[in-house]
Amino acid sequence: MGGSDKKAVSRIGKNKKSDKVLSSMSKGSKTRVKGIAGDVSYESVPQFINNPSEVVLHNNHNSWIVLGRDRPRGSESGYGGAGETQAASIDMVVGRLGQQPVEVTKDGEKIFVDPDFKIDAARIYISQKTDIDHNFAIVKGEVGSPETRSGIGIKADGIRVIGREGIKLVTGGDMRNSQGADQEGSTPGIDLIAGNRTTGWYNLQPLVKGKNLKTALEEITMMISKLNGIVNSFLITQMKFNSALTHHFHQSPFFGAPTTPSLVVAGVGMKTLAKQLDTVQVDLVSHKNNLNTLVTKHCDPGSPDYINSRFNHTN
């Protein structure tokens, strides 16, 4: 269904170095320092491998802001690693190495790490020139995977965007992109991709435009209703013919006297007339009422089953 129900794990006091540092920090104090109420605590924080061109701001709790050049992985990665200009970047990270942050090896040697877009706990990455989908391993989708473009990637276990007065997702709007390429006349789309997959059950399909769908359903219902009327008209005509056939007789060759009606035809004809009147005609009336109910249920804005969203729109 949704995400895992696995709870976050507290690792306070679970390594010997942490206990040792906490003990030394709390000497002369009645209580050990464990970060309660914003107090200082010790956490394992790996050493970041920063390049000469980078300005790094960080604290002792694995929070980082790196001002540098496009670098999704090691020093040679990205457009910054390739030596290209106009590839400025801001990398905001918390929780390097994700759920298993370590500071030293078993031999006591410091651990040095590069950016890891897969396992680092949470990140906002801004780059003037990058391959944003490739960096975050995002499928191509319908809008494609632009390369050598400015990009912003946001990744965490849970992401919420909250707008007190509305949220707009807008594409296009400018005549040129960040690299100076002409954008006039193009209208890039918006992909909503669950599961980062686009094949099989996850194949991408166009969003429906609600007003057009409402109009189409109303027109289809109208056509079906007309068909209902055509069948009803045919039924009435057929019933008249069946009645005439049931009571018909031939002229006798003896002085033109009428013959008696066919007992077989009369019996079947009476049953057919009764069924057409009691069943078919009643069903047609019920069918027409059901069509009206369908339109009211799904095309009336006041219905709880209205097919259009009252709040969200797409073009």
**pLDDT, tens only, 229-282:** 767 766 666 666 566 566 555 555 655 556 555 545 555 555 665 565 566 677
Mean pLDDT of the chain: 80
Identify any residues that bridge with 69 across adjacent strands, giving them in sequence order.
88
Largest CA-CA distance found in the chain, in angstroms, rounded:
137
Q: Are 46 and 103 in contact (CB under 8 A)?
A: yes
Identify any residues that bridge with 153 across adjacent strands, giving them in sequence order.
125
**pLDDT, tens only, 72-114:** 999 999 999 999 999 999 999 999 999 988 999 888 899 999 9
What pLDDT was estimated at residue 178? 82
The percent of residues above 90 in pLDDT, for the chain, comes to 35
Which residue in 2, 15, 8, 88 sits closest to 45, CA to CA?
15
Report strand pairing: 88-94 vs 47-48.
Answer: unpaired
Confidence of residue 227 (pLDDT cuts 50, 70, 90): confident
Alpha helix stretches (DSSP H) within 94-209: 132-135
